Amino acid sequence: MAKVEQLRPGPPGHPQARGAPEAGAPPSATYALSPLDQPTRASSAPELAAAFGRELAEQRVLFDGMNLVDLAHTVELMEEGVIPLEAGAALLAALLDLVRGSADFKADPALGDLYVNRQAWLNSRTSAAGWLGAGRARRECTTTAYHLIVRARLLTLAQALLDACGALLERAASYRDALMTDYTYLQPAQPTTFGHYLVGFAYPLLRDLDRVRALFGRTNLSPAGCGATSGSTVLRDRERLASLLGFDGLVTHARDAMWQADLPIETVAVATAACISQSRLAEDLQVFATTEFGLVDLDQAHSRTSAVMPQKKNPYALAYVRGIANQLIGMLASTASSARTPTGQVDNRLFVYGNVPWALEAAAEAIALMAGVVERLRLNSARANSSLESGFTTATDLAEAIMGKGRLDFARAHMVVSRLARNLAARGLGARDTTLHDVEQAARDVGAPEIGLSEQALKRALDARAAIASRVATGGAASAALERMVDECRARLDQHAVWRSRTASNLHAAEQRLLKHAGERSRTQPCPST
């Protein structure tokens, strides 16, 4: 950043145009310093500069958005006749230089926040920079930029969710007939397929997309042109500003536009929920990948070898996703806490400007990582079948078969099978070793009447593949039911993909129109006097 030695004169009435304090007198003895005077009339105390440095770190993500907001604001000032055309053209030219040469911009914590640093950079290039603050507070610029950045990050999160859901559905289809044990409490529960298990994580992703889409609609509303708290007397056409920046509408109330607290909380909550859904899958896979379970194998590309124990293949990708979920939970609490103040407090936003975009970015990266994990994940079919046979996962099916004879209700049938499982385990046997004699003995042990199952009925009740094939109702693990769910999920996924693509295209087009329009206006010359 070029060295700013002295502020150039501003328009009449601007703080820069007022008389300077007497020599030797502290500036505060004459008038309060404006944010735009601060960079050149006084330097911040080192301890305050340190605080500004933290604030700058949180605001850096807003830089590109602030450029667009300032361009739109200047265009609107010119269109409403607030700023002379020549000054407006010069200001637009400087702003476009800032857009193109952003790598040369260096923020100095001693000057203050990002808004003031940008103003100092502009001041060093054109005297027209003093017009930029007309009709708005600095928070209008930062808040509008925040909306721009958050809506972009929401679309990035949406793409990550689309990719993750697509990967799950693809793998679910390929593993639709691969038998495995379903677990509850990490105990063998019922027979299922790996495909059915994976689709169970696709539905939360679709709900995450629903939430992102709804949140985008609330985020893509413009706070621009609202003045400080009660509206602007300078800019009258807020709809024009919204259109220039690609917003779908306005945050109607001026004060609400500046101090919304619920949307940052909702945004971090949406990111947290999405990441927790994937963290739950990561938790399961980390257990399934252990030597003790041995059900799945993570690709080496998503693993890390222990630095000291060469036999270990650590599932680092899964641990990372879990860690991000934990961090987002803490950030959600922090975001909610920062909002729990009287209204109109700067601490509502000091760290939200950086935290919320970071939360969206971190969630998107973690979800993209899980998509890669799923794409390369392999099921150990032999181990899955072995676990299925040894876990008596067809116990419920056997109880229902016994109940179907009409002699026992389900509670009594449950007692019979429970005793049967214990009797077999005591003899070192499993479900596949069950005989009709064993069933009848268990019935006698609990005082139940003779069961009367046939050999064929017993065999069918103990067959895991037959048990899965019988689960044909909506949501079941049977092949046809699974195919219907995959088709349903793909249809919903396609709808979200179309929305995301169309929305991203519209926002890109709006940005390009604004840059083109600003470029044309930057070459505007005043009409010659006649």
Distance, CA of 338 to CA of 44 (rounded, Å) = 25
Which of 157-171, 343-357, 457-471 ranks highest by mean pLDDT? 157-171
478 has a pLDDT exceeding 80: yes
DSSP state of 285: H
Distance, CA of 109 to CA of 46 (rounded, Å) = 9
20-61 pLDDT, tens digit each: 333 343 433 333 445 555 444 456 788 888 888 888 888 899
Confidence of residue 64 (pLDDT cuts 50, 70, 90): very high
* Element spanning 222, H or E: strand 221-222
Q: What angle do CA 481, 172, 466 make, to 5 degrees?
A: 45
Tally the residues of the chain.
Answer: 530
What sign does the CA torsion over 366, 370, 386, 456 have? positive
Domain 15-134 has CATH 1.10.275: yes
pLDDT at site 243: 97
Three-state DSSP at 54 gives: helix
pLDDT at site 405: 75
Please tell me if the domain spanning 15-134 has the same topology as the one spanning 140-380+483-504: no
pLDDT at site 43: 67
356 has a pLDDT exceeding 90: yes
Three-state SS for 101-162 is CHHHCCCCCCCCCHHHHHHHHHHCCCHHHHHHHCCCCHHHHHHHHHHHHHHHHHHHHHHHHH
- % residues pLDDT > 70 (the chain): 90
Query: Stretch 413-423: mean pLDDT, rounded?
Result: 95
The answer to whether the beta carbons of residues 54 and 218 sit under 8 Å apart is no
Q: What angle do CA 86, 90, 152 make, to 5 degrees?
A: 125
The answer to whether the beta carbons of residues 53 and 101 sit under 8 Å apart is no
pLDDT at site 307: 81
12 has a pLDDT exceeding 60: no
Domain ranges of the chain: 15-134, 140-380+483-504, 395-462
Distance, CA of 291 to CA of 312 (rounded, Å) = 10
Query: Stretch 135-141: mean pLDDT, rounded?
Result: 90
Q: Which of 59-63, 251-255, 308-312, 517-521 has the lowest mean pLDDT?
A: 308-312
Amino acid (one-letter) located at 369: L
Q: What is the topology classification, in CATH, of domain 140-380+483-504?
A: Fumarase C; Chain A, domain 2 (1.20.200)
Amino acid (one-letter) located at 492: R
Query: Stretch 298-305: mean pLDDT, rounded?
Result: 88
**Integer CA distances (angstroms), 45 to 3, 49, 121, 143, in order:** 19, 6, 21, 27
Q: What mean pLDDT, rounded, does the chain reach?
A: 88
Q: Which residues of 330-339 are buried (b: 16+ CB within 10 A; e: fewer)?
A: ebbeebeebb
161 has a pLDDT exceeding 60: yes
Radius of gyration of the chain (CA): 32
Q: Which of 38-52, 325-339, 512-526 has the lowest mean pLDDT?
A: 38-52
Instruction: Dump the DSSP string for 456-525.
Output: HHHHHHT-HHHHHHT--STT-SSHHHHHHHHHHHHHHHHHHHHHHHHHHHHHHHHHHHHHHHHHHHHT--
201 has a pLDDT exceeding 80: yes
The token pair that represents 90 in the structure block: 């010069």
